Amino acid sequence: MSAHRDRGTARPRHRKRNTALAIGVPLALTAAGTLAYGSVYGIGAGAEQASAATAPAWATATADGFASVNSLGQNGTYGGRDGKTVTVKTLADLEKYATASEPYVIVVAATINMNPVGKEIKVQSDKTIVGSGTSGQIVGGGFFLGTGVHNVIIRNLTIRDSYQGIWNDKDHDFDAIQMDGAHHVWIDHNDLRHMADGLIDVRKDSTNITVSWNKLSNNNKTFGIGWTENVVTDITIHHNWLRETEQRNPSTDNAAHAHLYNNFLEDTAGTTITSSYGNYSRGKTKMVLENSYFQGFTNPVIKDSTAAIVQKGNTFVGTSGRNESGGTAFDPKTYYAYTLDKTADVPSLLKSGTGPRSSIGTTATTTAAAATTLTVAKDGSGQYSTVQAAVNAVPANNPSRIVIAVKPGTYRETVKVPANKPHVTIQGTGGSRKDTVIVYNNASGTPKPDGSGTYGTSGSATVAAEADDFQARNLTITNDFDEAANQSLSGHQAVALRTAADKVFLDSLIINGDQDTLLLDTAAADRLGRVYVRNSYVTGNVDFIFGRATAVIDQSVITLKKRWNGTSAGYITAPSTPAARKGLLINRSTVNGDVSNASFFLGRNWHAGGDATLRPQTTVRNSTLSAAIKTTPWSDMGGFSWKNDRFAEYKNTGPGAGSASSDRPQLTDTQAADQEVADWLGDWTPTAS
């Protein structure tokens, strides 16, 4: 470690929420202890698969709402992104891949006619079915998700025209999307219309469903939820445009939690379709209805005597009949984070933002208005040829998400996202995080070209994120500084990725380096800086996860490397945490690497600048530790005893785990209950966008 700026002061403690993060966790990491590093960048077998086609830019997105909540053994909804990407243009191919047992991202690039009419493909778990631009259309049938099917995403498709000429058709149960006992399903940015029965049926205890940014139109029975005596369904319905639909808009029967917000229900006078009712809460449903816009609807909001509806911020224009509320419901924010758009903006926002996008990379986000996408490609096919040029094009103080979509290639450059450019996502568009690489080789002791000194540790970063609400995913970020060839330099600390901001979400990355690989900092000593890293690989040897941020490394792989001279020795973490804040939490992860047994410490206490007021903290819990970890896994640093700071383990496994002793503190169950991911992140729930 080299000298860094002093760290300091505290943040208020947030109330712990009884909720899971709004994120998805790939199947390849649900049993992180089984992963082993392979060739090139050390991805274990199965963690990355070769793609048969280029994945759409948004194929790695994860659901928000109830589909993001950890339950039933499924942590979020991310579809088939851990599988191959295939493009289909025929019914046979669509059915082949949708019904397969392994995960797939299935890109529908043609109009596919169902044969026979009314056919519903029985989709299996771990699938993303996504239209290519507006060309993905399913005509005369749809999809069926049966009991136990889970982790399915259906996006950017038009599903239409199974209508058989009878308006209230009792003989043809032809749905666009039907679920019977499925869970963790995300239906997003589709155009569903003119079907013989329902556009969407969520039946028989299906749960953890999110339906967002869809256009539902020209139908009798639009959207039914329930058909069960059990009260288990959790569903989020937001930013959908329902127009010229008669009933079930939706009808919600015995749902445990139904959260409807920012929807637009429109019944235009003088058409042949007249609404009979809008949002209906039936049985024992608890419904929260927020910031939705009802125009021309008959009976816009109704409820049974046994059901609950809590209304907030809705607008009713030209409506008539029943408009009801009553009972107690629930607070959706105890389950996930979300952002409400202004009710007055909903009609225009949804008219322009719902349904399939003509350009797959410019879809609206699942929180507010359409995100701006800037494309980067070395071959000149994008708007910019370097990542930094795209960052430079982001306007200062941009109010909403800007996605920098980086096409596969190696980009040898440094990238800095300054503090005045929040809400930026840098995302690789390849089928694997290995396909898009940002790399440079500055070290702390590297002289600056202008002769003004050396870079220092923080200045050596290949990628520096100084703006709040920054996200990066599906990338490799590397500092390939060659220590052996640069022994004359005074400082060998070489950062791959530095964060100095709050609400930083790092998802599906490879972060490569040797000493000081990942610097998790804050914007200033008195500023909170929360970072959530998940489904990622971090490599290094000395203090390679370090800093004063409040940071979680979750369901990831930490790989230990030998030093430049072939020796095995090092430290994983070097926190410099202020006394009243949380430090580093390594959770449900794997530590491995081709190094000697008992040669690495889990961490040491960094009192930056000799500041005795700091209380460095690392907790390693529920993780698999290789034999490389020392039996006394914590070390002093800079004359400060680690035993006076905060270092502990909880229920780790593997040959490197050990029992409690004065040299190896273990949390009690009571202590561990206050050292979970939600305690670290407080009122922030990381959500991909």
Active-site residue numbers?
Answer: 516, 543
Taking a C-beta distance cutoff of 8 angstroms, is the pair 391, 411 a contact?
no
Q: Identify residue 243 by its one-letter amino acid code.
A: R
Cα–Cα distances (Å) from 351 to 189, 237, 345, 368, in that order, read 12, 16, 10, 13
Tell me 94's DSSP state: H
Q: Identify residue 293 by its one-letter amino acid code.
A: Y
Taking a C-beta distance cutoff of 8 angstroms, is the pair 606, 575 a contact?
yes
Cα–Cα distance measured from residue 57 to residue 376, given in angstroms and rounded to the nearest whole number = 12
Taking a C-beta distance cutoff of 8 angstroms, is the pair 75, 597 a contact?
no
Is 13 in a helix, a strand, or coil?
coil
Cα–Cα distance measured from residue 58 to residue 76, given in angstroms and rounded to the nearest whole number = 16
Nearest Cα neighbor of 325 from 295, 305, 297, 344 is 305
Taking a C-beta distance cutoff of 8 angstroms, is the pair 373, 361 a contact?
yes
Point out which residues pair with 512 in neighbouring strands: 478
Cα–Cα distance measured from residue 400 to residue 393, given in angstroms and rounded to the nearest whole number = 14
Residue 593 — left, alpha, or beta (φ > 0 → left; ψ -120 to 50 → alpha)?
Answer: left
Cα–Cα distance measured from residue 251 to residue 210, given in angstroms and rounded to the nearest whole number = 15
Taking a C-beta distance cutoff of 8 angstroms, is the pair 198, 226 a contact?
no
DSSP 589-616: -EEE-SS-TT-EEEEE---GGG-TT---
Cα–Cα distances (Å) from 279 to 150, 196, 247, 509, 544, in that order, read 26, 21, 9, 42, 53
Taking a C-beta distance cutoff of 8 angstroms, is the pair 365, 371 a contact?
yes
Residues 6+ apart with CB under 8 A from 240: 211, 212, 213, 214, 215, 216, 263, 264, 350, 354
Tell me 505's DSSP state: E
Taking a C-beta distance cutoff of 8 angstroms, is the pair 428, 450 a contact?
no
Point out which residues pair with 145 in neighbouring strands: 179
Taking a C-beta distance cutoff of 8 angstroms, is the pair 492, 1 a contact?
no
Longest dimension (CA), the chain: 83
How many Å separate Cα 51 from the centre of its chain? Answer: 21
DSSP 268-333: -TTSS---S-SEEEETT-EEEEES-EEES-BS-EEE-TT-EEEEES-EEES-BS-B--BS----GG
Residues 6+ apart with CB under 8 A from 100: 124
How many Å separate Cα 666 from the centre of its chain? Answer: 31
Taking a C-beta distance cutoff of 8 angstroms, is the pair 580, 10 a contact?
yes
**C-alpha angle 411/471/529, rounded to 5°?**
120
Nearest Cα neighbor of 108 from 63, 73, 142 is 142
Taking a C-beta distance cutoff of 8 angstroms, is the pair 225, 252 a contact?
yes
Cα–Cα distance measured from residue 257 to residue 254, given in angstroms and rounded to the nearest whole number = 9
Q: SS3 for 473-484, per residue?
A: EEEEEEECCCCH
Is 451 in a helix, a strand, or coil?
coil
Integer distance in angstroms from the first to the last C-alpha of the chain? Answer: 34
Task: Tokens for 363, please give them.
Answer: 């879809």
